[in-house]
Copies of this chain bind each other. A is one copy, B any other.
């Protein structure tokens, strides 16, 4: 299988981390989103919404959306419990991450690191308040728990780890329970971290227009 992948995207790193944990071989196909490589007709055939990552199996349809890829890869492995109520809690954290945590934390980090927002702008302060609340919520949930779901380390942890462990880049302070959970994730056999910084061409004056502040 091939993974169409952007090296500085937390959503892409999630998938690479799951593939590493599961020792699944794959071909990595780098996509430079700020050079416009997601805007081609060829990329639209893989994913009409033009986001990364996209997993392309040897046979069958391309699969966009990091959460969908994580669930698909984890099926039948220890990273996704079988029991319906536990599985449902994995789903819950995956959707929470995409709908709530990512806009606040990853959205702010991206805009600050690439010069799209100043730290004291109202839009930055709104995302910081939201992100602080969400990190507190995650910390409360992890207090007394090793991982997000009671059955142990799962794709829910992988999904949240990707942007939470770099939240300090955006000025967030990680609560103690989150910091110790990060250490537990990083101590997993098979853990690796190859998330790269945003390159110079991700700055708005150097990139194809993809994101609004």
Contact = CB atoms under 8 A, between A and B. Distances in A.
A84 B67 CA distance: 14
Interface residues of A, number: 37
A95 B66 CA distance: 8
A103 B102 CA distance: 13
A88 B102 contact: no
B99 A72 contact: no
Interface of A: 48-49, 51, 57, 60-61, 63-69, 71-72, 75, 84-85, 87-89, 91-92, 94-96, 98-100, 102-103, 126, 134, 137, 140-141, 212
21 contacts: A48-B140, A49-B100, A49-B134, A49-B137, A60-B85, A61-B89, A64-B96, A65-B91, A65-B92, A65-B96, A65-B99, A68-B92, A69-B88, A71-B88, A71-B91, A72-B85, A72-B88, A72-B91, A95-B98, A98-B99, A99-B99
